């Protein structure tokens, strides 16, 4: 069984083919798909998707870009999260971003928003599905300060030293189809113990390598599993089973 721990299924790119994508995913052995949101609009769209199949799990949260470019939407998103808190499996996608100039300019707003999301996660005992592009060290510092014990660093691409510290805290690391061609990501996967790994597609983000010019779909998780197995010299079925078990521990831990 396979899992896609982070995707945006509500995206317009999927609208006309959503039923086909879901059917294909489950035909390829994908057991669970976690669709995360970014703001109030995508939260409502996401909640609608959960009605298509009980194995589509939903995460609600305020993306750091929302905190930067649409801060007026934060309170409305929080209201939706609170209304549907019993129906979601995580608070996400949330976190911090340092890639762009605007990210730095609005840093305090990002941190304040992230802390609000952490407070919700702690109060309602929900794991965090985290965006940490070029900011993983800052994210880790805040998580430690807030005594967070359930966190998933989706599509991790930061430095090895921070990766080591994330692993020491028992958090999870996400790998996408970029592992099929990125030397940096391959090295990160090699350094990450299997018991800390989750797989994801982060669709509709598109990739190079074997998926160049293709729409990203949950069924592509099999490529990630096969590459992790190759990097670690393990049996793909064993890798898939262990990643699935990681997923169950993370999203269904009581």
On the question of pLDDT at 118 being above 80, the answer is yes
Please give the residue range of the domain that contains residue 231. 2-252
How confident is the model over 209-229, as a mean pLDDT? 97
Q: What is the pLDDT of residue 100?
A: 85
pTM attached to this predicted model? 0.97
Domain count for the chain, please give it: 1
Kindly indicate the confidence band of residue 253, based on its pLDDT and cuts at 50, 70 and 90: confident
For residue 16, the domain's CATH number is 3.20.20.140
Q: What is the pLDDT of residue 254?
A: 55
Q: How far apart are CA 10 and CA 15, in angstroms?
A: 7
How confident is the model over 123-128, as a mean pLDDT? 98
Q: What's the mean per-residue pLDDT of the chain? A: 97
Q: What is the pLDDT of residue 51?
A: 87
Please enumerate in sequence order all residues whose Cβ is within 8 A of that of 88, keeping only pairs 6 or more positions apart, or say none: 57, 58, 59, 60, 81, 126
Per this entry, what is the length of the chain?
A: 254
Q: How far apart are CA 13 and CA 42, in angstroms?
A: 14
On the question of pLDDT at 121 being above 60, the answer is yes
CB half-sphere exposure, 44, CA atoms < 13 A: 6
Q: What is the pLDDT of residue 204?
A: 98
Structure-model confidence comparison of residues 54 and 151, the more confident one: 151
Please enumerate in sequence order all residues whose Cβ is within 8 A of that of 173, keeping only pairs 6 or more positions apart, or say none: 152, 153, 156, 163, 166, 167, 188, 192, 196, 197, 198
Closest listed residue to residue 38, CA positions, set 2, 9, 4:
9
CA dihedral over 116, 118, 121, 125, signed as positive or negative: negative
């Amino acid at each position: 069984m396979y899992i896609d721990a982070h995707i945006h299924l509500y995206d317009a790119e999927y609208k006309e083919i959503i039923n086909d994508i879901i059917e294909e995913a489950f035909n390829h052995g994908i057991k669970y798909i976690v669709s995360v949101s970014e703001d109030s609009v995508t939260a409502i769209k996401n909640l609608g998707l959960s009605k298509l199949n009980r194995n589509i799990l939903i995460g609600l949260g305020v993306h750091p870009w929302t905190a930067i470019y649409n801060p007026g939407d934060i309170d409305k998103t929080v209201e939706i999260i609170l209304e549907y808190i019993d129906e979601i499996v995580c608070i996400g996608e949330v976190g911090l971003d340092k890639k762009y100039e605007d990210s730095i300019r609005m840093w305090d707003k990002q941190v304040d928003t992230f802390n609000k999301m952490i407070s919700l996660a702690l109060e309602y005992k929900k794991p965090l599905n985290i965006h940490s592009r070029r900011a993983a060290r800052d994210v880790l510092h805040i998580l430690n300060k807030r005594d967070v014990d359930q966190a998933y660093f989706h599509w991790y691409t930061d430095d090895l030293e921070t990766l080591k510290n994330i692993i020491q805290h028992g958090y999870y690391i996400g790998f996408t189809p970029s592992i099929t061609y990125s030397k940096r990501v391959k090295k990160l996967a090699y350094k990450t113990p299997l018991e800390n790994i989750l797989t994801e597609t982060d669709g509709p983000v598109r990739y190079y390598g074997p998926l160049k010019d293709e729409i990203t779909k949950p069924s592509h998780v099999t490529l990630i599993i096969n590459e992790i197995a190759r990097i670690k010299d393990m049996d793909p079925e064993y890798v898939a089973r262990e990643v699935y078990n990681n997923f169950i521990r993370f999203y269904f831990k009581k």
